[in-house]
Homo-oligomer: A and B are copies of this chain.
Amino acid sequence: MSTIGFAPHDHKSCVAGTLHKAEAHCASQGLRLTPVRRRSLEILLAEHRALGAYDLLGILAKEGLGAQPPVAYRALDFLVGAGFAHKIEALNAYIACAHLGTCHMPAFLICRSCKSVAEADTAPAQGRLGDAAREAGFVIERTVVEAEGICPQCQDAAA
């Protein structure tokens, strides 16, 4: 495992590898990674931060890939549906999946200072949340697990 996103890493290969996996997944599943979708994924992958739909739309618009809200929301719906991106509910924003391929119910660590977001691969539905649900007779279909706080770098910076 690893909560990529904090701490520097070879981001160029991080991006290229994810794009490559996404292409392979689309090919094998008969999904179509069209220009807008592919570019949207690249844009999200550029940083380990969450982007608002309208932030994405702004970039797409500059590049002539579409200027109306549905363009961004359709691309995001596709990426989220395919598992290539996740919505961060606490921010109403979207982020590229950092563990593509791994089957996961993601959990996120969100730094309120530098806005970076790390995706942890922790299967929250199997922890206490799962216990509580089982006890209540509730069947979980999707989980939203997000923690807001301060990342290691920002703690060091403050010290």
Interface residues of A (CB under 8 A from B): 3, 6, 89-90, 107, 109, 111-112, 118, 120, 122-129, 131-133, 135-152, 155
Whether B138 pairs with A147 at a CB distance below 8 angstroms is: yes
Cβ contact within 8 Å between B138 and A131? no
12 A-B pairs with C-beta separation under 8 A: A3-B136, A89-B89, A109-B133, A118-B136, A122-B132, A124-B124, A138-B151, A139-B150, A140-B149, A141-B148, A143-B146, A145-B145
Q: Is the CB of B6 within 8 A of A138?
A: yes
Given the complex, which residues of B lie within 8 Å of A136, measured CB to CB?
3, 6, 109, 118, 120, 151-152
Contact B122 A147 (CB under 8 A): no
A152 to B144, CA, bound (A): 20
Measured in the bound complex, the distance between the Cα atoms of B133 and A51 in whole Å is 22
Max chain B Cβ within 10 angstroms of own Cβ: one of A142, A147, A149: A147
Q: Which of B123, B144, B155 contacts A145 (CB 8 A)?
A: B144
The answer to whether A129 touches B120, judged by C-beta atoms less than 8 angstroms apart, is yes
Min Cβ gap A84→B in Å is: 20
**What distance in Å separates the Cβ of A137 from its nearest Cβ neighbour in chain B?**
4
Identify which of B107, B111, B137 contacts A6 (C-beta below 8 A). B137
Contact of A129 among B6, B107, B150 (CB under 8 A): B107
What residue in chain B is nearest A121 (Cβ atoms)?
B132
Determine whether the beta carbon of A149 is less than 8 Å from that of B144.
Answer: no
Do the beta carbons of A138 and B124 come within 8 Å of each other? Answer: no
Beta-carbon contact of A155 and B128 below 8 Å = no
Max count, chain B CB within 10 A of own CB: residue among A136, A138, A140: A138
